[in-house]
Chain A
Amino acid sequence: MVLHELLDYQTLRVIWWLLLGVLLIGFAVMDGFDLGTGMLLPFVGRNDVERRVVINTVGPVWEGNQVWLILGGGAIFAAWPPLYAVSFSGFYLAMFAILFALILRPVGFKYRSKRESAAWRNGWDWALFVGGLVPALVMGVAVGNVLQGVPFRFGTDLRIFYDGTTLFELLNPFGLLCGLLSVAMLVMHGASWLVLKTEGAVAERARRYGAAAAIATIVLFALGGIWLWLGIDGYRITSAVVTDGPSNPLAKTVERASGVWFENYGNHPWMMIAPVLAFAGALANLALQKAGREIVPVLASGLSILGIISTVGLSMFPMILPSSLDPKSSLTVWDASSSHLTLFIMLVVTAIFIPLIVAYTSWVYHVLWGKVDEKAIRDGSGHAY
C-alpha cells in the first residue's frame, strides 16, 4: 500500500491539526448554542410554557449537535492518540464532571415534560442548566490549563505519569478566567439562537442576557490576552524540528520562556485574523442584536467562537499539549500523531463524510426552520418535549 504516500507525513499532520480545530469549533458552534440555551433556561423561561418553548428550540437538534463532541473525542483518539491518552487521563476528575453533566442533558431534554409535577420539571430544568454550565466551564478551564502547561511526563516506555492534576488545582485564576470566557461566549451564542427561534418575552429576555454575555466575552478575551502576555510562559522546541519523524515525544527538547505564545503572530501576521475575528464577531453580535436583527447575530457569535478557539490553537502551534513537569514530554504537531497510514485513511473517510453530514444537517435545519411559539407547545403538535 503506497497510496498514502501521495501526501507526505508533515502535510498530513498539519491537515489533522486543522481538522482538530474544525471539530472543536464545530462542537463549540453547533452544540454551543444548545449548551448556552441550557444555561439560560431557568432565567429566560419564567413559567412552564416558556421553558418548554426554550427546550423545544433545541429539542430536535441537540442530539445531532452533541455528536460533534463524540466525533471530536473519536478523532482525537484516532489521529492524536498520545493527546487523547494524556489529556483524558490527566484531566480525570474534570472529565468526570463533564461526563456527569452530559449524562444529565439527554435525559433532561427527554424526560422533563413526561410528568406534570412542578417539582419534577423544575428539577430537570436545573439539571439542564448544570448540563450546559459544567461542560462549558470545565472545557474552558482545561484550555486555560493547557496554555499554562500540564504537569505530566512520559516514562521511557511512554507510560504517562502525572503530578497532582486534581480538579482543584485546575481551578487556578487563569484557568477560571478561561472557563468564564467559555461560558460567556456560549451564553452569547445560545441567547442569539433563542432570539432567532422564539418571540415575545422569552426573546426579549434572551436579547438582554445575550448583550451582557457579548460584552463579557469581549472583556474576558481581552483580559485573557493581556494576562497571557504579561504572566504566562509559552513553550518552544529547542532541538532541530523533525516534522516527519516517528511520533516519539521524547526525541526533542523544549524550553519554557515568556512571550512564546505571541511569537507566531510576529512571524506570520496573517494569523492576527483570529483574535480580530473573536472581537469583531462579538461586537457585531452586540450591534446586530441592538438593531433587532435575528439571523445574522447567530452567525456573528459563531464567528467570534471560531476566532477565540483559533487564537488559542494558532498561539500554541506547533505545541498541542505542553508539559510543565517535564517540558520535553510536551506533545506537538510533529510527535503526537498517528502513523502516516492512519492519518491518510482517516483523512479520506473525513473528506467523504463531513460534506455529507453538513448537507443532511442543513436539510434538517431547513425542515425545522421557524419560530417555536407557545401555541405549538399547548397544542402538543410536532411531539413537543
Chain B
Amino acid sequence: MELDIVDLSRLQFAITALYHFLFVPLTLGLSVLLAIMETVYVMTGRDIWRQMTKFWGVLFGINFVMGVATGIVMEFQFGMNWSYYSHYVGDIFGAPLAIEGLMAFFLEATFVGLFFFGWDKLSRLGHLAATWAVAIGSNFSALWILIANGWMQNPVGAAFNPQTMRMEVNDFAAVLFNPVAQAKFVHTVSAGYVTASIFVLGVSAWYLLKGRHLELAKRSLTVAASFGLASALSVVVLGDESGYLSTEHQKMKLAAIEAMWKTEPAPAAFTAIGFPDQEARKTHYAVHIPWVMGLIGTRSLTTEIPGIEELVQHAETRIRSGMVAYAALQEIRAAGSDAAIPEAARTAFEENGMDLGYALLLKPYLDDPAQASDEQIAKAAWDTVPNVPTLFWTFRIMVGLGFFFIALTAVFFYLSARHQLDRYPWLLRVAVFAIPLPWIAAECGWIVAEFGRQPWIIEGVLPTAAAVSNLGAATVLATIVGFSLIYSVLFVVEMVLMLAAIRKGPEADHAPRTRLAPPSLAPAE
C-alpha cells in the first residue's frame, strides 16, 4: 500500500505522541511521590526520607529531560504537519496550550533546576516548596493539555465563522469546564500516579530481593503501595466516568470498543472477549456478560445504547445536512459583503451549519461535496466507523491491567501494614516484572482515545484527512525517519542510564552541614 500524506502525518504524530507519553506519566506521578517523601523528611527530620527523595529524584531527572525534549515536538507538530487544523481551530485549541506554558510549565521547569541544584542553597522548607512547585506545575500542565485534548473529543463552546473559515470560541467557560476534559484529566493523572507507584514498587522490590538498601526500599514500597492503591482505584472508577461520558458524546467510539454492530435491547450485554471482523461487520466467538454494558454505559437498565449500524445511519443523515451547509457556505463566501448574502443561503447555513464537518468527509471522494452521489454518501458514512478490532483489544488490555494494578498495590499495602513486605519473594518478583505494564496500559489508553476518534481530528467538526499540511510525502517520510532514529538512540541511552542509576542505588548522603555563609561567599582556598 502506498502511504499518502495523511497516513504519513498520522504515523508521525502517533510515533511522536506515543513516545512522548513514555516519559510523561512517570514525571506526573514521581513528582508527586518526591513531594510526599520530602514532606515526610521535613516533618520528621529523618535523613532516610531525604535520601529517598534524592535517590528517586535522580531517576526522575533522567526521565524528565526526555519528556521535555519530546514535548517541544508535540507543540510544534500541529503547525508543521496539521496546518489546516491549526488554522481551523487555533482560536480555541491554541489557548489551553499557551496557558499551559504560562501557568504550569514555567513553574515546573523553573523550579526543577532548584530541585536538583538547591539542596545546599535553600532551607528545608524552601527546597520543599521548590519540589511541590515541580509537582503542581507538572500536574497543571496535564490539566491544560487535556482541556485541549478534551475539546478535540467534545468540541463545546465554539461556532464556525464563514468569514474567517474557522471555528471561533464563543463560550470559554464551556471549553474550560468541558466534562470530557475534566474526566480525562483525572483519569490521566491517576494513570501517571499508578505508573510511578508501580515503578517505585518494582525497583524497591528488586532491592529487597537483592538484600540492598533495605531501609530505603521498605519505606519506598510503603509509600508506593498506598499511593498506588488509591490511584489505581481512581483510574478505574474515573475511567468508568470517561466511559459514561463517551456514551453521550462519542457513541461511535463506545460501540467500536464493544464491537456492538447492532443496537441491542436494553440493558446491553458486555462482550468480554471475541474476534471482531470489520469486513463482515460482526464479532466471532463472542462471550457476553449480560447487563454489564448497559449499566456502564447508561447507568440504567432501560436506556438503549445504539450499535454501529444505527450510528452509520445517523452519520448519513448528517452528511446530507452537511452537504446543504457546504453549498450554502460557498454562496456566502462568494457574496463578498454581508449585505450581498442571499437570504436562502443564510437560512440554510444557520440550519445545517453544525453538520458542515460531515460534508468534509466526502472530500476524499470528490472535490465538491455538494455534488456527492448516494453511493459516495454511503461510503463516507461507513468511514465514520473506527478500526473496531484495534479498539476492542487495546481497551481490554488497558482495563485488564487496571484491575491487576489494584490487586498488586492492594497486596503490598496489606503486607506493608503487617510489616511483612519481604515475606513472599515471589510477590516481589511479580512486582519487578510488573514495571513495564503501566506503560502498556497508558499507551493502550491513548490508542483507544485517539484512534477511536477517527476519522475525526475534531469530533464531528473536522475530518483528519482534511486537516493536514500540503507537504510532499517524501518530506514527511524524511522527518519520520529522522525522529525515529534519534528517538531510538535516545531510548537506548535513557534505559542504560536508568538501569545504571538503579543498580548503583542511593548515594551516601550526609545531613546538610550548617553553613555560616553561602558557598559563593566562602573564602577561596
User: Which residues of A are in contact with B by a Cβ distance under 8 Å?
Assistant: 1, 59-64, 66-67, 69-71, 73-79, 81-82, 84-89, 92-93, 95-96, 99-100, 102-107, 109-111, 114-115, 156-162, 246-248, 338-339, 341-342, 345-346, 349-350, 353-354, 357, 360-361, 364, 367-371, 375-376, 381-384
Contact segment of B61-69, B230-238, B417-425, B443-451: B61-69
Report yes or no: A79 in contact with B94, Cβ–Cβ below 8 A: yes
Main secondary structure of the interface of B (DSSP, over half): helix
Residue of B nearest to A84 (CB): B79
Q: List 12 A-B contacts (CB under 8 A).
A: A74-B97, A77-B93, A84-B90, A88-B79, A89-B83, A89-B471, A92-B469, A93-B475, A93-B478, A103-B73, A115-B500, A246-B161
User: Which B238-274 residues have C-beta < 8 A from chain A?
Assistant: none
Residue of A nearest to B95 (CB): A78
Q: How far, in angstroms, from A33 to B388 measured CA to CA in the complex?
A: 51
Cβ of B186 to closest chain A Cβ, rounded Å: 23
Q: How far, in angstroms, from A308 to B170 measured CA to CA in the complex?
A: 38
Residue of A nearest to B518 (CB): A370
Report yes or no: A350 in contact with B87, Cβ–Cβ below 8 A: no
Q: How far, in angstroms, from A59 to B112 measured CA to CA in the complex?
A: 11
Report yes or no: B470 in contact with A161, Cβ–Cβ below 8 A: yes
Q: How far, in angstroms, from A109 to B116 measured CA to CA in the complex?
A: 13
Q: Let me know if B120 is at the binding interface, CB within 8 A.
A: yes
Q: How far, in angstroms, from A18 to B62 measured CA to CA in the complex?
A: 37
Contacts of A342 in B (CB 8 A): 91-92, 94-95, 168-169, 172
Given contacts A61-B110, A89-B79, A99-B76, 14 further A-B contacts (CB under 8 A): A64-B106, A70-B105, A73-B75, A73-B76, A74-B97, A77-B90, A92-B475, A92-B479, A96-B479, A103-B72, A106-B66, A248-B164, A342-B92, A368-B117
Tell which of B61, B95, B112, B497 has the most Cβ of chain A within 10 Å.
Answer: B95
Report if A160-B84 is in contact (Cβ < 8 Å); known contacts: A73-B75, A85-B90.
yes
Tell which of B72, B163, B164, B169 has the most Cβ of chain A within 10 Å.
Answer: B164
Specify which of B69, B75, B117, B471 is in contact with A105 (CB 8 Å cutoff).
B69
Cβ of A347 to closest chain B Cβ, rounded Å: 11
Contacts of B518 in A (CB 8 A): 370
Report yes or no: B93 in contact with A1, Cβ–Cβ below 8 A: no
Contacts of A106 in B (CB 8 A): 65-66, 68-69
Contacts of B62 in A (CB 8 A): 110-111, 114
Report yes or no: A63 in contact with B80, Cβ–Cβ below 8 A: no
Report yes or no: B99 in contact with A107, Cβ–Cβ below 8 A: no
Report yes or no: B68 in contact with A99, Cβ–Cβ below 8 A: no
Q: Let me know if B366 is at the binding interface, CB within 8 A.
A: no
Cβ of A330 to closest chain B Cβ, rounded Å: 15
Report yes or no: A339 in contact with B91, Cβ–Cβ below 8 A: yes
Report yes or no: B98 in contact with A346, Cβ–Cβ below 8 A: yes
Specify which of A82, A84, A110, A156 is in contact with B61 (CB 8 Å cutoff).
A110
Per-residue A-contact encoding for B167-193, CB less than 8 Å = 1, 0 else: 011111000000000000000000000
Q: How far, in angstroms, from A75 to B116 measured CA to CA in the complex?
A: 29
Report yes or no: B117 in contact with A341, Cβ–Cβ below 8 A: no
Report yes or no: A341 in contact with B169, Cβ–Cβ below 8 A: yes
Q: Let me know if B288 is at the binding interface, CB within 8 A.
A: no
Residue of A nearest to B90 (CB): A81
Cβ of B118 to closest chain A Cβ, rounded Å: 6
Cβ of A75 to closest chain B Cβ, rounded Å: 5
Cβ of A134 to closest chain B Cβ, rounded Å: 13
Q: Let me know if B486 is at the binding interface, CB within 8 A.
A: yes
Report yes or no: A67 in contact with B80, Cβ–Cβ below 8 A: no
Q: Let me know if B520 is at the binding interface, CB within 8 A.
A: yes
Report yes or no: A69 in contact with B72, Cβ–Cβ below 8 A: yes
Q: Let me know if B299 is at the binding interface, CB within 8 A.
A: no
Report yes or no: A92 in contact with B80, Cβ–Cβ below 8 A: yes
Q: How far, in angstroms, from A350 to B87 measured CA to CA in the complex?
A: 22
Specify which of A100, A339, A341, A368 is in contact with B482 (CB 8 Å cutoff).
A100
Specify which of A246, A341, A350 is in contact with B170 (CB 8 Å cutoff).
A341
Cβ of B461 to closest chain A Cβ, rounded Å: 15
Contacts of A103 in B (CB 8 A): 69-70, 72-73, 486, 490
Cβ of B343 to closest chain A Cβ, rounded Å: 21
Q: How far, in angstroms, from A247 to B84 measured CA to CA in the complex?
A: 15
Report yes or no: A368 in contact with B83, Cβ–Cβ below 8 A: no
Cβ of A258 to closest chain B Cβ, rounded Å: 31
Q: Let me know if B333 is at the binding interface, CB within 8 A.
A: yes
Q: How far, in angstroms, from A109 to B68 measured CA to CA in the complex?
A: 12
Q: How far, in angstroms, from A327 to B362 measured CA to CA in the complex?
A: 32
Residue of B nearest to A114 (CB): B497
Contacts of B355 in A (CB 8 A): none
Cβ of B352 to closest chain A Cβ, rounded Å: 17
Report yes or no: B118 in contact with A339, Cβ–Cβ below 8 A: no
Residue of B nearest to A361 (CB): B110
Q: Let me know if B86 is at the binding interface, CB within 8 A.
A: yes
Report if A107-B101 is in contact (Cβ < 8 Å); known contacts: A342-B91, A367-B114.
no
